[in-house]
Amino acid sequence: MRAGVAGGVLSTLAVAGASGAAHAAEPVTQTLELPTLTADLAAQVAQSADVTQQAAASYELQAERDAAAAQAAKQAETDLAEAEKKAEEEKKKKEAEEAERKEAAERASRNAERATLSASVDNGSSDNSSDNSGSSVGSSSSTASGSAAAVVSFVQSQVGDAYVSGGTGPNSWDCSGLVQAAFKSVGVDLPRVSQAQSTAGTQVGLGNLQPGDILYWGGAGSAYHVGVYVGDGMFVGAQNSSTGVVKAPLSYDPPSGAVRVL
């Protein structure tokens, strides 16, 4: 019996060993199961996509705002430059208007002074007629013609203008600047200074003056002042800063001599 039991046990172990060997020879296959996409995970993915889209939209909006700010700054700079330009133009316009008003006031003042001077000149001429009777200062002609008339007209049109040392017009003069400009208006070029103008033509006596003659004060070649004889015992000259350009009788400031250019 023991022998039978032992034989049965040995048979069983043999069968089991064979079965184990058989199982050991078969390949082992493992199956990996992926997690199932649940509704919660899908919601998380969608939410992440929304966040990304919102961030992109936010960046785009910020970029648009930056561009708009830059454009606004550029426009503001342009507007400021335009405003400054208009302000400068308005300032210049007001300055020009002020200068024009000042010039008008000055001309009105000069006109008043001219009227006063003319009245005093007329009185002076009649009062001094007897005083001049024995004087060598006179005129053989009171009527200008041609170029001489143009010179006389030129200097008389400047009566009332200001005297400025070195002035050559058009609204301020010194004595030789006025004489030079008057003769230049008829195509005659004279020297610039009084000394040279006093010898620029033919010397004539003060008793034989004609309109358009150049009067000088001081010696010929060393004169310190010049003017233009305009006829009727009158001359025009840029006298000084107090009187400006005046028309006055020769007795007002008797000249030393005269030259005739025309």
* Biggest distance spanned by C-alpha atoms of the chain: 199
Tens of pLDDT, residue by residue over 3-32, are 444 455 445 444 445 444 445 455 555 555
> Which of 187, 226, 195, 232 minimizes the C-alpha distance to 211?
232
Least confident of 96-110, 125-139, 149-163, 231-245: 125-139
Reply yes or no on whether the pLDDT at 113 is more than 60: no
pLDDT of residue 101: 72
pLDDT of residue 128: 40
* Domains in the chain: boundaries: 138-260
Mean pLDDT of 65-82: 87
Q: What is the DSSP string of 28-70?
A: P---PPPPP--HHHHHHHHHHHHHHHHHHHHHHHHHHHHHHHH
Cβ atoms of 14 and 21 within 8 Å: the answer is no
Reply yes or no on whether the pLDDT at 65 is more than 70: yes
Mean pLDDT of 117-143: 45
Mean pLDDT of 67-88: 88
The pair of structure tokens assigned to 181 is 């400009």
Q: Considering just the CA atoms, what is the radius of gyration of the chain in Å?
A: 58
Reply yes or no on whether the pLDDT at 248 is more than 90: yes
Mean pLDDT of 36-44: 67
Tens of pLDDT, residue by residue over 169-200, are 999 999 999 999 999 999 999 999 999 999 99
pLDDT of residue 40: 72
pLDDT of residue 3: 46
Report the DSSP beta bridge partners of residue 204.
Answer: 258
- Which residues, including other chains, have CB under 8 Å from residue 200's CB and lie 6 or more apart? 190, 191, 214, 259, 261
Least confident of 47-61, 103-117, 218-232: 103-117
Mean pLDDT of 51-66: 83
Dihedral sign of CA atoms 224, 213, 209, 129 in order: negative
Least confident of 58-62, 84-88, 186-190, 256-260: 58-62
pTM check: above 0.85: no
Report the DSSP beta bridge partners of residue 203.
Answer: 259
Mean pLDDT of 71-97: 86
pLDDT of residue 47: 77
Cβ atoms of 253 and 240 within 8 Å: the answer is no
Mean pLDDT of 124-132: 40
Alpha helices in the chain (DSSP H): 2-25, 39-127, 146-157, 175-184, 194-197
pLDDT of residue 122: 44
In whole angstroms, what is the distance from residue 133 CA to residue 117 CA?
A: 23
Q: Which residues of 57-74 are buried (b: 16+ CB within 10 A; e: fewer)?
A: eeeeeeeeeeeeeeeeee
Structurally, at CATH architecture level, domain 138-260 sits in: Alpha-Beta Complex (3.90)
Average pLDDT, the chain: 79
In whole angstroms, what is the distance from residue 143 CA to residue 130 CA?
A: 22
Per cent of the chain over pLDDT 70 is 69
Reply yes or no on whether the pLDDT at 132 is more than 80: no
